[in-house]
Amino acid sequence: MKIAVLASGSGTILESIVASDVQVSLVVVDRPCRAEEVAKSAGIKVISMYRSEWGASFDRRNYSEGLAKSLLDEGIELIAMAGFGTIVTEELHRHYKARILNTHPSLLPSFTGWHAVEAALDFGVMVTGCTVHLATVEVDAGPILAQRAVEVYEDDSAATLHERIKEVERSLYPETIKLYNDFLDRGSIGQYRNYPKINE
């Protein structure tokens, strides 16, 4: 299947996906970031869909429609979000129902949102972790595909805890992408006839 990775940051998750031999066909970024250089170094096509507006003036629906068109034009069949900083709307999910994966630094459904690591520390949990799930219009609420626990140390800061979660993420996410890709491939030859196809 043709896989696209959506990224916004340092590209470390993208690096782990590429290093695991997941065949990435396209990388899309929403701002200038190191992930672009990671993709280019790996010989992966990059589409730069930079945002020029933020906050209430940002036309999220129009951006999502343009993103969907770019992915469909490239024949993309599966999307992996890798720290993508733009929340997309129904206009993308409608075309890629059950085909958008995301990774989140907590054991969902606990600690949703952008500050999950800080929230876990503030709550005083002894264990947190990483979740790979299907992305839906509602943020961090889609079906869970895989989880892995990470112990919280007494002297942890948000930075140290987040780095240990990222270490887990860099192995769990590529593993899950491969498994889900295989699941969809088998579905394409009829073993999972009721599974959503592109644009259904």
Kindly list the catalytic residues.
104
Report yes or no: 42 and 197 within 8 Å, Cβ to Cβ.
no
Residue 171 DSSP code: H
- List the beta strands (DSSP E) in the chain: 3-7, 24-29, 45-48, 78-82, 100-104, 127-134, 144-151
From 198, 192, 175, select the one nearest 78 (Cα to Cα): 198
Bond prior to 109 in cis (omega within 30° of 0): yes
Q: How far apart are CA 145 and CA 147, in angstroms?
A: 7
Question: Concatenated DSSP letters for 23-79?
Answer: -EEEEEESSS-HHHHHHHHTT-EEEE------GGG--HHHHHHHHHHHHHHTT--EE
Q: At what angle do helices 158-188 and 116-123 cross, to 10 degrees?
A: 120
Report yes or no: 150 and 128 within 8 Å, Cβ to Cβ.
yes
Report yes or no: 27 and 47 within 8 Å, Cβ to Cβ.
yes
